[in-house]
Amino acid sequence: MYLTTEIKQGLFSKHGFGKKNEDTGSPESQIALFTHRINHLTQHLKENKKDFSTQQGLMKLVGKRKKLLNYLQNTNIGRYRAILADLDLRK
């Protein structure tokens, strides 16, 4: 599978912003995980253009990430800007 335990722990440690590596519930960790999954599904859809169930799952992930980014923007703008810069997202 493309998302092993080592990859998840690497994402959580890199984007945890000084928190524990096991802190999987922070918005930054979840946004990083969603971004990794979105990038993987985007590559899959470039090869398989008619895979509509994957396309629907991708749209749901994008929506979840957008909600988390909005939450982070409303609660702590510094962390929001840091995660945007770190993951090269634009909003």
Q: Could you give the number of structural domains in the chain?
A: 1
Q: How confident is the model at residue 13 (pLDDT cuts 50, 70, 90)?
A: confident
Range of the domain at 49: 28-91
CATH code of the domain in which 57 resides = 1.10.287.10
Q: Does residue 20 have a pLDDT over 90?
A: no
The overall longest dimension of the chain from CA atoms, in Å, is 42
Task: Say if 55 falls within a structural domain.
Answer: yes
Least confident of 10-19, 44-53, 63-72: 10-19
Task: Say if 13 falls within a structural domain.
Answer: no
- Coil, strand or helix at 32: helix
Nearest in space to 34 (alpha carbons), one of 78, 76, 79, 65: 65
Over residues 34-59, the pLDDT tens digits come to 999 999 999 999 999 999 999 999 99
Full-model pTM: 0.85
Task: Say if 39 falls within a structural domain.
Answer: yes
